[in-house]
């Protein structure tokens, strides 16, 4: 008979296998499932890919801006604090040499440097602070951490005991005033509750001889839900709490008492939050409307108590299961504005002025580029009781898609908009060039955004400059099949027509959308988990490491079975042997040439292979069927 004897792992082995939990478990990562098909890998085992870990909230960092009209190469790259510091030093050096003899006080020098920067860049940059994210890593307790590299190559630390990820958490934007940070991205860890364990118990009661098994089942682990909270408008709360764990189910008890269900964990997010699995681009959930709730991770099933194992063959089962582990994952949250119409355009074109005249919003308006640093929202009410949410976005520059200026940080907000209003500064030297540059940036950033319907609004018609340029601009755009509007946002002339045209585009878009869209299924992530859990135990993959004579049997169903086996009960081992035989693991191993004394690893169990066919002289099938009939036996 072929059998696997379970060797008790030494504490060292057990710890080392525990450590492996920091890496993805093979069944969870196995992209290909084999049904009864065995894959043999000679040589060393494939090491599982390392997880991308890290967490914490990410805030948008602002960068130094170029003067409005200067699109020269000199300023065509993003200038960050690091670069600016170098620039500062250079200027400081120059200043020092110039004033070496004059022995100026340090305060005066700084003032001079600032003046020099301002005149170099052509705008009042003292008003724009320069910020950069400062990365800090916690060096304390180094021995307790393993270094892991995430996708971006940053080192992050994993606390093995708690499973908390640190490192990226500490990436903070020091020096950025809180009001200017845009908490529109966050990374969180979620884990649903483990199921409670089942127990082995027997009924003992006066006048009830042979009361039978009465071990109750463990309770189901708590679920993790995500819910839209209308009162939230940023992902700021995730700055303080980023680990969400649902409660584990209570263990079963005697007298057929089942364990209580674990407590659910509800993650509240702002309307417009998009959820992705960390490091992946696929969107898992999109939460738009207040009150929307989705089951994200279902809790683990409770382990069965011995009462559930009672059968005609075995009336006194001494076996109970462990509760199923709840799934865990790292998620990336991204908040996108839920605006119907986005106002785009070059800096200083009058976007904020337009928003201020069509809605009650009061954005900052000033005659310098990049007045708007964060998107502003306004609600436009029409006579006929319909409303329109309009977002005024920071100005776009040539090179925005490469991170030049500010606009690109927020362009992703327009992905949600159904229509765009493109404001043109009529007083610009070449309005048409400005129009093309912004259109090009939109196309380069995302072809999807560029395909959105848009209205062109030629602004500042009250200025003679703009008035002169309008006929030519109109003619050229009409030649390209675009019908532009002209307006004076300051004088509130022509703005109503512009917004009505945008509303018309939105209405058409909504109608077209209705035709294509069916009901939204919000629980598809949980459905995916359920599907993974119900993976057949027959689907497994065997790999062989010839150098250490180790066989790895990997399969989601088997993995789950091993995890739920409670080895403290004597019948568990028999059941395990039986299941391995029934699902074809033995047969496949023998086919691949497993030898006496080889190590076989199934899930977290490490075992030694014993081939006793020669000694027993009985056919394997017969012996196997005998086991299955006799199992589980009363001892």
Interface with ligand GTP (CB under 6 A): 345, 347-353, 365-367, 369-372, 394-395, 459-460, 462-463, 488-490
Q: In the complex with ligand GTP, which residue's Cβ is closer, 265 or 371?
A: 371
Q: Output the CA–CA distances (angstroms, integers) from residue 54 to 176, 207, 278, 329, in the order listed.
A: 22, 61, 9, 11
Q: Quick one: what does residue 314 bind among ligand GTP, Mg ion, none, with the CB cut-off 5 to 8 Å set by partner type?
A: none
CB–CB of 462/488 below 8 Å? Answer: yes
Where does residue 583 rank: exposed (0-12), middle (13-18), buried (19+ CB within 10 A)? buried
Q: How far is the CB of 237 from ligand GTP (least distance, A)?
A: 28
Q: In the complex with ligand GTP, which residue's Cβ is closer, 392 or 598?
A: 392
Q: In the complex with Mg ion, which residue's Cβ is closer, 333 or 428?
A: 428
Coarse DSSP helix, strand, coil percentages of the chain, rounded to the nearest 5 percent: 30, 20, 45
Q: Quick one: what does residue 256 bind among ligand GTP, Mg ion, none, with the CB cut-off 5 to 8 Å set by partner type?
A: none
DSSP state of 400: G
- Give the residue from 371, 445, 431, 439 showing the smallest Cα distance to 403: 445
Q: Which two tokens stand for residue 157?
A: 């630390």
Q: Quick one: what does residue 60 bind among ligand GTP, Mg ion, none, with the CB cut-off 5 to 8 Å set by partner type?
A: none
Tell whether omega for the bond before 193 is within 30 degrees of 0, i.e. cis.
Answer: no
DSSP state of 567: T
Q: How far is the CB of 430 from Mg ion (least distance, A)?
A: 21
Q: Which regions of 393-540 does DSSP assign to beta strands (E)?
A: 419-425, 454-459, 485-486
Which residues within the stretch 368-427 sit at the binding site for Mg ion (CB under 5 A)?
Answer: 371-372
Pairing type for strands 376-381 and 387-392 reads antiparallel
Q: In the complex with ligand GTP, which residue's Cβ is closer, 62 or 309?
A: 62
DSSP state of 488: B
Q: In the complex with Mg ion, which residue's Cβ is closer, 62 or 145?
A: 62
Q: Quick one: what does residue 88 bind among Mg ion, ligand GTP, none, with the CB cut-off 5 to 8 Å set by partner type?
A: none
Q: How far is the CB of 357 from ligand GTP (least distance, A)?
A: 9
Q: In the complex with ligand GTP, which residue's Cβ is closer, 326 or 426?
A: 426
Q: Quick one: what does residue 367 bind among Mg ion, ligand GTP, none, with the CB cut-off 5 to 8 Å set by partner type?
A: ligand GTP
- Give the residue from 337, 339, 343 showing the smallest Cα distance to 487: 343
Q: How far is the CB of 359 from Mg ion (least distance, A)?
A: 14
SS3 state of residue 127: helix
Residues in the chain: 635
Q: In the complex with ligand GTP, which residue's Cβ is closer, 317 or 407?
A: 407
Q: In the complex with Mg ion, which residue's Cβ is closer, 354 or 554?
A: 354
Q: How far is the CB of 220 from ligand GTP (least distance, A)?
A: 52
Q: In the complex with ligand GTP, which residue's Cβ is closer, 9 or 180?
A: 180
Q: How far is the CB of 436 from ligand GTP (least distance, A)?
A: 17
Gap between the Cα atoms of 425 and 563, Å rounded: 65
Q: How far is the CB of 137 from ligand GTP (least distance, A)?
A: 37
Torsion (CA) 407, 409, 413, 418 in degrees, nearest 10? 40
Q: Quick one: what does residue 229 bind among Mg ion, ligand GTP, none, with the CB cut-off 5 to 8 Å set by partner type?
A: none
Gap between the Cα atoms of 218 and 220, Å rounded: 7
Q: Quick one: what does residue 366 bind among ligand GTP, Mg ion, none, with the CB cut-off 5 to 8 Å set by partner type?
A: ligand GTP
**Contact string (CB under 5 A) for Mg ion, positions 328-357, x = contact:** ------------------------x-----
Q: Quick one: what does residue 273 bind among ligand GTP, Mg ion, none, with the CB cut-off 5 to 8 Å set by partner type?
A: none
Q: Quick one: what does residue 370 bind among ligand GTP, Mg ion, none, with the CB cut-off 5 to 8 Å set by partner type?
A: ligand GTP
Q: Quick one: what does residue 216 bind among ligand GTP, Mg ion, none, with the CB cut-off 5 to 8 Å set by partner type?
A: none
Q: How far is the CB of 343 from ligand GTP (least distance, A)?
A: 8
Q: Output the CA–CA distances (angstroms, integers) from residue 33 to 280, 511, 613, 627, in the order listed.
A: 21, 42, 31, 29
Q: How far is the CB of 434 from ligand GTP (least distance, A)?
A: 11
Q: What end-to-end distance do the CA atoms of the chain give, in Å?
A: 21
- Counting residues that bind Mg ion (by CB under 5 A) gives 3
- Give the residue from 452, 430, 457 showing the smallest Cα distance to 442: 452
Q: Which two tokens stand for residue 562?
A: 């091993």
CB–CB of 380/339 below 8 Å? Answer: no
Q: How far is the CB of 441 from ligand GTP (least distance, A)?
A: 13
Gap between the Cα atoms of 348 and 364, Å rounded: 12
CB–CB of 44/547 below 8 Å? Answer: yes
- Give the residue from 404, 335, 405 showing the smallest Cα distance to 373: 405
Q: Quick one: what does residue 333 bind among Mg ion, ligand GTP, none, with the CB cut-off 5 to 8 Å set by partner type?
A: none
Q: In the complex with Mg ion, which residue's Cβ is closer, 53 or 423?
A: 423
CB–CB of 544/40 below 8 Å? Answer: yes
Q: Quick one: what does residue 258 bind among ligand GTP, Mg ion, none, with the CB cut-off 5 to 8 Å set by partner type?
A: none
Q: In the complex with ligand GTP, which residue's Cβ is closer, 457 or 525?
A: 457
In this chain, which stretch among 130-138, 140-148, 364-372, 548-556 interacts with Mg ion, using CB under 5 A? 364-372
Q: How far is the CB of 271 from Mg ion (least distance, A)?
A: 23
Q: How far is the CB of 34 from ligand GTP (least distance, A)?
A: 57
Gap between the Cα atoms of 202 and 211, Å rounded: 7
Q: In the complex with Mg ion, which residue's Cβ is closer, 26 or 375?
A: 375
Q: Quick one: what does residue 349 bind among Mg ion, ligand GTP, none, with the CB cut-off 5 to 8 Å set by partner type?
A: ligand GTP
Q: How far is the CB of 413 from ligand GTP (least distance, A)?
A: 15
Cα Rg, the chain, nearest whole Å: 33
Binding site for Mg ion (CB under 5 A): 352, 371-372
């Amino acid at each position: 008979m072929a059998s696997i004897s379970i060797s008790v792992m030494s504490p060292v082995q057990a710890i080392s296998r525990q450590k492996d939990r920091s890496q993805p478990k093979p069944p969870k990562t196995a992209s290909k499932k084999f049904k009864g098909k065995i894959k043999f890998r000679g040589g060393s085992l494939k090491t599982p890919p390392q997880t991308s870990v890290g967490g914490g909230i990410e805030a948008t960092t602002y960068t130094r801006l170029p003067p409005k009209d200067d699109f020269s190469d000199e300023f065509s790259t993003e200038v960050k604090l690091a670069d600016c510091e170098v620039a500062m030093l250079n200027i400081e050096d120059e200043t020092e040499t110039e004033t070496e003899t004059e022995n100026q006080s340090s305060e005066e020098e700084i003032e001079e440097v600032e003046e020099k920067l301002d005149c170099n860049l052509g705008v009042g940059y003292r008003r724009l602070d320069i910020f950069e994210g400062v990365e800090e890593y916690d060096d304390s307790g180094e021995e307790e951490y393993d270094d892991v590299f995430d996708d971006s190559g940053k080192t992050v630390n994993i606390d093995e005991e708690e499973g908390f990820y640190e490192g990226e958490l500490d990436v903070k934007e020091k020096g950025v005033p809180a009001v200017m940070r845009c908490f529109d991205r966050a990374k969180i860890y979620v884990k649903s509750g483990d199921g409670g364990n089942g127990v082995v118990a027997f009924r003992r009661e006066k006048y009830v001889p042979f009361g039978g098994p009465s071990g109750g089942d463990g309770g189901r682990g708590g679920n993790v839900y995500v819910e839209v909270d209308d009162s939230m408008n940023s992902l700021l709360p995730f700055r303080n709490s980023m680990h969400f764990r649902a409660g584990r189910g209570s263990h079963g008890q005697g007298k057929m008492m089942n364990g209580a269900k674990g407590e659910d964990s509800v993650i509240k997010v702002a309307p417009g939050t998009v959820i992705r699995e960390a490091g992946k681009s696929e969107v898992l959930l999109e939460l738009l409307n207040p009150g929307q709730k989705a089951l994200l991770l279902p809790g683990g099933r409770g382990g069965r108590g011995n009462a559930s194992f009672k059968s005609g063959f075995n009336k006194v089962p001494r076996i109970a299961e462990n509760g199923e582990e709840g799934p865990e994952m790292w998620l990336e949250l991204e908040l996108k504005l839920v605006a119907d119409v986005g106002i785009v355009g070059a800096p200083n074109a009058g976007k904020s002025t337009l928003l201020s005249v069509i809605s009650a919003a009061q954005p900052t308006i000033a005659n310098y580029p990049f007045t708007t640093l964060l998107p502003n929202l306004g609600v436009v009410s029409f006579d006929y009781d319909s409303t329109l949410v309009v977002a005024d976005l920071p100005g776009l520059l040539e090179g925005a898609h490469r991170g030049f200026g500010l606009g690109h940080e927020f362009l992703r907000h327009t992905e949600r908009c159904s229509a765009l209003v493109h404001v043109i500064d009529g007083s610009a030297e070449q309005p048409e060039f400005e129009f093309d540059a912004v259109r090009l940036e939109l196309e380069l950033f995302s072809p999807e955004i560029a395909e959105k319907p848009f209205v062109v609004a030629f602004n500042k018609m009250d200025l003679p400059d703009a008035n002169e340029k309008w006929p030519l601009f109109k003619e050229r755009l009409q030649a390209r099949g675009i019908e532009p509007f002209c307006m004076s946002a300051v004088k509130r002339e022509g703005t109503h027509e512009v917004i009505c045209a945008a509303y018309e585009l939105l209405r058409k878009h909504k109608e077209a959308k209705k035709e294509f869209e069916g009901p939204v299924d919000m629980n598809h992530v949980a459905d995916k988990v359920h599907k993974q859990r119900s993976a057949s135990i027959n689907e497994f993959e065997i790999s062989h490491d010839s150098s250490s004579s180790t066989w790895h049997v990997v399969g989601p169903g088997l993995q789950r079975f091993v995890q739920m086996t409670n080895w403290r009960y004597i019948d568990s081992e028999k059941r395990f042997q039986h299941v391995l035989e029934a699902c074809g693991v033995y047969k496949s191993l023998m086919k691949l040439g497993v030898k006496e004394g080889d190590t076989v690893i199934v899930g977290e169990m490490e075992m030694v292979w014993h081939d006793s066919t020669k000694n027993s002289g009985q056919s394997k099938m017969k012996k196997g069927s005998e086991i299955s009939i006799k199992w589980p036996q009363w001892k």
